[in-house]
Each structure stands twice: as structure tokens, then as C-alpha cells.
Amino acid sequence: MSYLLGIDVGTTGAKALLVNEKGDIVARSSHEYPLHTPRPGWAEQDPADWWQATANAIRDVAGAPGIRAAEIAGMGLSGQMHGSVFLDAQNEVIRPAILWCDQRTADQCDWITRAAGRETVVAETCNPVLTGFTAPKIVWLKQQEPQAYARVRKVLLPKDYIRFRLTGEFATEVSDASGTSLLNIRQRKWSKKMLAALELPEDWLPPVFESPIPSATISAEASRLTGLPAGMPVVGGGGDQAAGAVGNGIVTSGVVSVTCGTSGVVFASLDSPVMDEQLRTHTFCHAVPGKWHVMGVMLSAGGSLRWYRDALASEEVALARRMGVDPYELITAQAATVEPGCEGLVFLPYLTGERTPYPDPDARGVFLGLNLRSGRAQMARAILEGVAYGLRDSLEIVKEMGVKITQVRASGGGARSSLWRQIQADVFNTELVTITVDEGPAFGVALLAGVGAGMFKTVEEACEKTIRLKDRTQPATANVATYELFYRIYRSLYPALKPLFADLSKAVC
């Protein structure tokens, strides 16, 4: 029996997933780590925490009962996109990594757009420069922490730092590199024009691979620390969204995924790099060689519900601990007692700014319509509905781009809740389908590793042989009209509040 290992270096923790050639999960492990917010709008993590959690998770699955580590044929790496790991000449981390949801770089985005020219930015990268992306973080370091910048010799994305720790080699791949504002999306290689405009040496960046191509092998030191066989191949892997799409079978045109993780993503595979005329969505290289994808991204989807859990649901958390259940089960059970439309309570899920359809780092979360009847149940349901409205924003743009949609697949933590799936089906007015494996990016990169190891000829074949449909959620006709009304109200809120968001941002700076 041969196995494949998928690693996902996420925002909340690292996951290791071991699968067999049929796609069956044979072992899994995850370890959490903290996220630090030293200032409003900032988000950082210590790469050492990623490494410790990843090593622990790998040891767990490699040493699981009945598993012989020597039978693991290959590994794929995924992780949160856009984060910046700065290394010095000794390959030591210079400062905490700045994450995808960090919003400190609005001025640097404007600076890059001026320095390179907007036409060049769009022609080379197929996207505007956004605060979450990597290049603005590099410029921020140069402008705000020049002593640290002077020490930089390598800039890595989160999963690629873990690759370095596992293999001793520097490498990345096209899907994750697409979110740096430094990759030529059409040519699938680093953009010399963008690097020149920013005065960045190309050797600061690792070589770029296609996602299923072996990029390095497990080092003897990493073998000793993790139990993996030395010399085992590690493929390019994928950014979390592209890898998650592979894990959901979104590798051909027509099938679209809606993912509710910390962020929320609507994802469609493309045969060519098509862009939204207003640049509200992202066009990136897919983890499938020769393909691209379009995605709309909201920054605080499941993250909004996690905020609610941590800030307002201490009673539910304590009760869940006593009952031995997930706190989200109790929170969504409360939300289910409230009628659709939430008695006029509407939530804007912009807790960390927003990207699609409003690339605005100043946008903030809002409850509109609070009254004396409003309690935790109403607020919880309003969050579920508000996230669904935000995901619909992206789905509508994808349709406007002429992307044919034949099926919508729900994934991520949000897809585990039957209530949240029903709300999304009602808000989208479309059937939602789930698959038998809901392990997202870790499963996707395990399949990529299978292609690299020769178990499958192509990524499409890997998905066809391992992914099976599970459940279908139909929209409830009675709820569709209600949500259509409240979606229109939701859509009117951001334009009305935009100037106030800017004023608030200035007031707290």
C-alpha cells in the first residue's frame, strides 16, 4: 500500500492528512497556533509556530497505527496565501510574518501602482495591487523597518517556508506565487517588469514550479524530526484556495466551489486567464498545469463566526466543553431558532476589511437593525446570513464574466453546518453539493503529490478517481424571496457607509 501526504499551513493551525491511492483518509492530525494583532488592522504569526505545529502533525500521521512511513510516496504542501516570511543571509527569520488578512499596506499598494504604472500592473499580474498581497508587505518593510529590510536575502510564502524547513530547498509554485503581485500570470513566471519597478532582486524569490511537479526531497534532518523517509519527493503544492479547489474537484470549467473557511471564496476554473473588467475578482494560475482560475474573496467568512464565538458566546463555549461537542454546533442550533431575514438584523462581515467586491482595508463589521428583541441567537443567524450575502456578491460577478456554472460545491467548515448550507442555497437560489471528503487544501495537495509520484497521470484523473458526491441541498422556495429582499438591503450598506469607514480609520490611526 502506498500513501500520499498533504500538509496545510493554515491561519489557525497546521493539518497533516494521509490518504491512500483510492483517496481514503487513513490518518489526520492538526495542531493550532496563535495569531497576533499588535495594532488594529495588523495580523502576524511566528513562522516557528508553523514549523512546530507542522512537525508535530507529520509525526502524528507518520507514526499512526498500521502506517509504515516508508510507504509514503510523496508530499504536497498548501498554506495561507500572501504571507511574507523574511529570511537573512543565514536563513533565519528576521521578523514575524505579515499575513494575508493584514491591512497595514494601503499606502504601499498605491506606491507600487504608481511606480509600476497601473497598466503594467494589470497586464503583468491580471489583478490590482491589494493590501493582502505580498509585494506591498515587502515595500512596507523597506519604508517602515529599513534596518530589517537591509538584512533580507529571501522572501518566502508560508508553505514555502515549511518546504525549506523540510527539504533545505527554496521553491514555490504558480498558484501561490500568483498572489504576490510579482508573477506574470499569463507566462507563469516572475515578472521582470514588476521586480524592476520595485527594485527587488529576483534571487530574493524562490524558483517557480507547476503544482504537481516535484520541487525538492525530504532532508535527513527533517526525516529525523518528523519520521518521514529521507529523499521522499515534495511537489510544488498550491496556495490554499487552488489546493482546496483540487480537493473539491474544481479542475474543469463549469463546476464552481463556495468555500467557507476563515475567509470565504467563490472559485471557478478557467481555460484561459479571463479577468473581471472592474478587477473585483482575482485571476490567478490554477494548481492544474495550463489552467487558470477566477475567485472572489471575502476576508472574514468563518472568521466572522469565530469572532462571535470568542467575543460573545462564552456561555456556549463553556457548555460545549461540558457536553464534549463543538461550540459551533450550539451556536448554529441557536441561530436555527430564528426565522430567515433575522427579524431585520443585517450583518456586514468586514471585520478585517474586504476584497470582493470592495477592495477596502478600512471597511469594518456592522450590525444594522438591532432592537430590544435582538439577542445572541439573532446575532448568530445574522452573521451566517451576512456571510452568505457576501459570497453571493462574488458568485454574481463570476456569472457577469460569462463563466458557465453547471454545479456549485460547498466546502470548508461552513459546509459542515446543514443550517449554513441551507442559508447559502436559499441566498444563491441554487442547489449546493457536497463531496465525501471535506479536507480541502490538505486533500488537494495530497492528490497533487500523487500526480508527482506517478500514481495518477493528471490532476484531472486524480480528482476523477478519488472524489465522490455526497449530499445535495435544494433552495427553499419560501425563503428565496425573503433573502432577495434582504440581499438588496445588504448591497446598499457598503456604499452608504464607505465614507464613514474612512473617517473611522483616520480617527483611530
Q: What are the pLDDT digits (tens) for 111-146?
A: 999 999 999 999 999 999 999 999 999 999 999 999
- Which residues on adjacent β-strands are paired with residue 32? 13
Q: Which three cell numbers stand for residue 48?
A: 516557528
The CB-side HSE value for 151 (13 A sphere, CA atoms) comes to 13
Q: What are the pLDDT digits (tens) for 469-494?
A: 999 999 999 999 999 999 999 999 99
Query: pTM to 2 decimals?
Result: 0.89
Give yes or no for residue 1 having a pLDDT over 80.
Answer: no
pLDDT at 508: 84
Give yes or no for residue 86 having a pLDDT over 90.
Answer: yes
C-alpha–C-alpha distance, residues 149 and 406, integer Å:
48
Phi, psi (rounded to 5 degrees) for 5:
-115, 125
pLDDT at 427: 98
pLDDT at 244: 92
Confidence of residue 288 (pLDDT cuts 50, 70, 90): very high
pLDDT at 436: 86
pLDDT at 40: 85
Give yes or no for residue 509 having a pLDDT over 70.
Answer: no
Q: What domains sit in the chain, N to C, each tagged with a CATH number?
A: 3-242+438-467 (3.30.420.40), 302-399+479-508 (3.30.420.40)
Alpha-carbon distances of 452 from 12, 76, 215, 246, 247, rounded to whole Å: 28, 9, 10, 14, 16
Confidence of residue 194 (pLDDT cuts 50, 70, 90): very high
pLDDT at 262: 85
Q: What are the pLDDT digits (tens) for 90-99?
A: 999 999 999 9
Known catalytic membership, residue 240: yes
Beta strand 264-270 with 292-298 is: antiparallel
Q: What are the pLDDT digits (tens) for 240-276?
A: 999 999 999 999 989 999 999 888 999 999 999 999 9
Confidence of residue 443 (pLDDT cuts 50, 70, 90): very high
Mean pLDDT confidence for 103-110: 95
Mean pLDDT over the full length of the chain: 95
pLDDT at 140: 98
DSSP assignment of 5-50 equals EEEEE-SSEEEEEEEETT--EEEEEEEE---B-SSTT--EE-HHHH
C-alpha–C-alpha distance, residues 329 and 265, integer Å:
22
Q: What is the DSSP letter of 405?
A: -
Q: What are the pLDDT digits (tens) for 338-380?
A: 999 999 999 999 998 998 999 898 999 999 999 999 999 999 9
- Contact status, residue 351 vs residue 307, Cβ threshold 8 Å: yes
Catalytic position from the list 160, 240, 276, 360: 240
The distance from CA 376 to its chain's CA centroid, rounded to whole angstroms, is: 28
